């Protein structure tokens, strides 16, 4: 739990305790025999704040060498420009981190899945996806990842991650995904 979250929880807990103590210290109010009927224009009193739940202990965390570790701490997808298979500058950092992670866990095997947006023919997009997957594979092996641990496949435009038909969807679908296939914890 972050320091900021702990501070917010502590502040909320102190406010709740002070409100509770103040409510308990009030003198009892006299009993009114018949309350007047509510006015139509009145609003209902505000709902009481939700009870403060005890802070639960955080989960043990991400297991080093796991699929979750790879996705959360490294990143499993890089993106490409339209009709391009060259590694973009913003993708180099992610791929360098992937290579370092893969070199740290030599039992892990991966499959690079090349993808394309919906524009263009099926055949063109399969070839483009294959070039993208191969470009990622070459980058990783140039950083010391054993080529025997890496396989590639092209899905072309057949498995979009965004089903839309606009520039945002096309940009999301022009990618290479690194899938862990064996050896992860």
What is the predicted pLDDT for the residue at 61?
Answer: 87
Taking the C-alpha atoms of residue 102 and residue 149, their distance in angstroms, rounded to an integer, is 9
Taking the C-alpha atoms of residue 183 and residue 133, their distance in angstroms, rounded to an integer, is 21
Residue 51 β-bridge partners: none
Task: Assign residue 169 the CATH number of its domain.
Answer: 3.30.1330.60
In a domain, 4, yes or no: no
Q: Give residue for tokens 């320091």.
A: 3
Q: Quick one: 107 exposed, middle or buried, by C-beta within 10 A (0-12, 13-18, 19+)?
A: exposed
Beta strand spans in the chain (E) = 77-79, 109-115, 150-156, 175-182
In a domain, 12, yes or no: no
Q: Give residue for tokens 């054993």.
A: 146
The number of folded domains in the chain is 1
Taking the C-alpha atoms of residue 148 and residue 87, their distance in angstroms, rounded to an integer, is 21
94: containing domain: 67-182
What is the predicted pLDDT for the residue at 161?
Answer: 97
pTM over 0.75: no
In a domain, 61, yes or no: no
Query: Reduced to 3 states, what is the DSSP secondary structure of residue 182?
Result: strand
Residue 77 β-bridge partners: 177
What is the predicted pLDDT for the residue at 122?
Answer: 97
Residue 121, by phi and psi: left (phi above 0), alpha (psi -120 to 50) or beta? beta
In a domain, 148, yes or no: yes
In a domain, 54, yes or no: no
Provide the residue-wise pLDDT of the chain in tens; the chain has 185 residues: 555 555 555 555 555 544 554 555 555 555 555 555 555 555 556 666 656 555 444 346 899 999 999 999 999 999 999 999 999 999 999 999 999 999 999 999 999 999 999 999 999 999 999 999 999 999 999 999 999 999 999 999 999 999 999 999 999 999 999 999 999 99
8 Å CB contact between 166 and 118: no
- CA atoms in the 13 A half-sphere facing the CB of 150: 24
In a domain, 120, yes or no: yes
């Amino acid at each position: 739990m972050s320091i900021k979250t702990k501070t917010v929880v502590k502040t909320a807990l102190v406010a709740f305790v002070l409100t509770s103590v103040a409510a308990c210290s009030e003198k009892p109010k006299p009993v009114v025999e018949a309350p007047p009927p509510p006015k139509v224009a009145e609003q209902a009193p505000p709902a009481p704040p939700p009870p403060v739940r005890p802070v639960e202990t955080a989960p043990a965390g991400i297991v080093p060498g796991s699929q979750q570790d790879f996705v959360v701490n490294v990143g499993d997808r890089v993106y490409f420009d339209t009709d391009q298979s060259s590694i973009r500058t913003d993708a180099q950092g992610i791929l360098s981190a992937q290579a370092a992670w893969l070199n740290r866990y030599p039992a892990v095997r991966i499959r690079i899945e090349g993808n394309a947006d919906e524009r263009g023919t099926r055949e063109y997009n399969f070839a483009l996806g294959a070039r993208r997957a191969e470009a990622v594979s070459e980058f990783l092996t140039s950083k010391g990842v054993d080529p025997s641990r890496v396989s590639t496949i092209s899905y072309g435009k057949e498995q979009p991650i965004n089903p839309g038909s606009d520039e945002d969807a096309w940009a999301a679908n022009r990618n290479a995904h690194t899938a862990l296939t064996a050896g992860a914890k």
